Chains A and B, each alone.
Chain A
Amino acid sequence: MQDQPTPSEVLAAVARFLRDVVASETAGHTSFNARVAANALEMMRRQLDLAPAAEAAERTRLAALLGADGDLAALNAELCRRLEAGDLDLATPGLEAHLWETTLAKLAVDQPTYWGYRAALAERAPVKD
């Protein structure tokens, strides 16, 4: 068992350092890139925290939707194949809900402040199951 603090905690600390110290004590391109780097570390921290549960749920949904088994990449490739062939579409029971959940889970990691994501969350809140 690896010791503490956790990767998530250390990444958060490095991100704070980049944003609060490096970005504010440098200028121009370097300062800009320090902020970008801080954002990148925050994103990786969210992925470590959120992706395991989100991807397990995604895999369960895909297996049910496709009646097939496999790893996440293989199942997504199969879903793409069937969508492209027209075997599945938005009218397929469960498909739209699956795509929404998967997409929102990705955004929660990649860009939780993106306004389109916030809007989608707000629009979908009343029907959330």
Chain B
Amino acid sequence: MSELDQALGALARRRLGGEGAGEVTRLSAGATQEIWRFMLVKDGARTPLILRRAPGGTRVSESAVGLETEARLIVAAGGAGVPVPPVLCVLEPDDGLGHGFIMGFVEGETLGGRIARGEVLATARPGLARQCGEILARIHTLDPAEFPTLRRATPAELVSQYQAAYRATAWPRPVFVLAFRWLADHCPPPPAKPRLVHGDFRNGNLIIGPDGVRAVLDWEIAHVADPMEDLGWICVNSWRFGVADKPVGGFGAREELWAGYEAAGGSPVDRDRARFWEVFGSMRWGVMCCGMTAAFRGVDPSVERAVIARRTSETEVDLMRLLAA
């Protein structure tokens, strides 16, 4: 029995009121964080649960809010009517599992390609874009004051942040420089009312069932900023999984997303801002990808990391299509 098995067994007894834990398996999803599935044995019944923790129990992403804050965000979002997995407990030092939390396992599909193209979800797809808009409107009602540690960022600061991250890679990319020029020229002023934004709301971070969106995952880069950022990010080319004519996650139209957002109480969608954030999004994913080279040479010398680094050029072709079409 591994250390992780033992620690989860102890946690199950001490904090989850169970008799033990078993069938610990690492899920392949989640490139920056570890996600494990295990069975809680309680009153003789087995319930699947999820352990989400930073690799080795420590943090790896510099912009991450911290897993404890992430757990609080999920609970608050659930209270605002956002579909999320139930958070059962936040890890403490005595648990010997590092930073992280335990949440319920939500059955459904998370793989972007299957969500955009799979036969099983064909009936769910037509409603997804509108539902995503409704969910984003609810996320944007969360009170930033309750999360004082979350980063506050203006559009210009976010552009500068990614420009600095690009420069730190010390690898010349003319297409990125062109994109940064465009972003500087089109950068909107700070929004009248900054909102708590999810920051990574896209196909790939949603659990989808035949009935629609069942859970919103990966709250680790939530921050307080322009709410249009979330509406642009889900339309970025990288999350369409080959379904070109469905800009929202490969399953819907921008107009459906916007209609759902406004109908559920979101502020009127500013089309120009949404477009700015879509271009920003391609650049942002590109910078995230090329940052993987340093991670590959440092904390995580895995093949997967190397291959993600080489996906940077996908965003270069996307940016060329957006800026030089």
Tell me whether B175 is interfacial, beta carbon within 8 Å. yes
Does B173 have its Cβ within 8 Å of any Cβ on chain A? yes
Contact A99 B240 (CB under 8 A): no
- Verify B173–A80 contact, CB threshold 8 A: yes
Residues of B within 8 A of A107 (CB): 313-314, 316-317
**Across the interface, do A37 and B177 meet the contact criterion of CB distance under 8 Å?**
no
10 cross-chain pairs, A with B, having the tightest CB-CB distances, nearest first: A76-B172, A115-B242, A106-B313, A83-B177, A80-B172, A77-B172, A110-B313, A32-B28, A80-B177, A37-B303
Once A36-B303, A36-B304, A80-B174 are accepted as A-B contacts, the answer to whether A117 and B26 lie under 8 Å apart by CB is: no
- Output the nearest chain A residue to B310 by Cβ-Cβ distance: A110
* B304-325 contact mask (Cβ, 8 Å, vs A): 1 or 0: 1011001111101110110111
Contact of B304 among A33, A43, A116 (CB under 8 A): A33
Contact of A43 with B310 in the complex, beta carbons under 8 Å: yes
Q: Which of B25, B240, B241, B321 has the most CB of A within 10 A?
A: B321
Are A29 and B174 neighbours in the complex by a CB distance under 8 Å? no
Instruction: Work out how many contacts link A and B, with CB atoms closer than 8 A.
Output: 93
A48 at the interface (CB under 8 A from B): no
Measured CB to CB, the nearest residue on chain B to A32 is B28
Whether A125 sits at the interface, judged by CB under 8 Å, is no
Selected from A80, A84, A116, the residue in CB contact (under 8 A) with B318 is A116
**Complex Cα distance A90/B303, Å?**
36
A99 and B307 form a contact (CB under 8 A): no
- B317, A84: Cβ atoms closer than 8 Å: no
- Bound complex: CA A77 to CA B175 (Å): 12
Q: Does A60 contact B (CB under 8 A)?
A: no
B181 within 8 A of A: yes
* Chain B residues within an 8 Å CB radius of A89: 178, 181
Residue from B177, B180, B307, B320 within 8 A of A100 (CB atoms): B320
Report if A99-B303 is in contact (Cβ < 8 Å); known contacts: A90-B324, A110-B313, A116-B237. no
Interface size class of chain B, counting residues whose CB lies under 8 Å from the partner chain: 20 to 34
Query: B244 an interface residue at 8 Å Cβ cutoff?
Result: yes
6 extra interchain contacts, Cβ-Cβ under 8 A, other than A103-B313, A103-B317, A111-B314?
A28-B28, A36-B304, A76-B173, A83-B177, A104-B317, A116-B321
Q: Which residues of B contact A120 (CB under 8 A)?
A: 317, 320-321
The smallest beta-carbon distance between A127 and chain B, in angstroms, is 12
CB contact under 8 A between A119 and B175, given known A37-B303, A106-B316, A110-B313:
no
A119 touches B321 (CB 8 A): yes
A32 to B47, CA, bound (A): 26
Q: Report whether B310 and A83 are in contact in the complex, using a CB–CB cutoff of 8 Å.
A: no
Residues of B within 8 A of A102 (CB): 174
Give the contacts of A14-62 with B (CB-CB under 8 A): 28-29, 32-33, 36-37, 39-40, 43
B320 touches A114 (CB 8 A): no
Q: How far does the alpha carbon of A117 sit from the alpha carbon of B311 in the complex, in Å?
A: 12
A93 within 8 A of B: no
User: Which residue of B has the minimal Cβ distance to A118?
Assistant: B242
In the assembled complex, which residues on chain A have CB atoms less than 8 Å from the CB atom of B242?
A: 115
**Contact across chains for B237 and A40 when beta carbons are under 8 A apart:** no
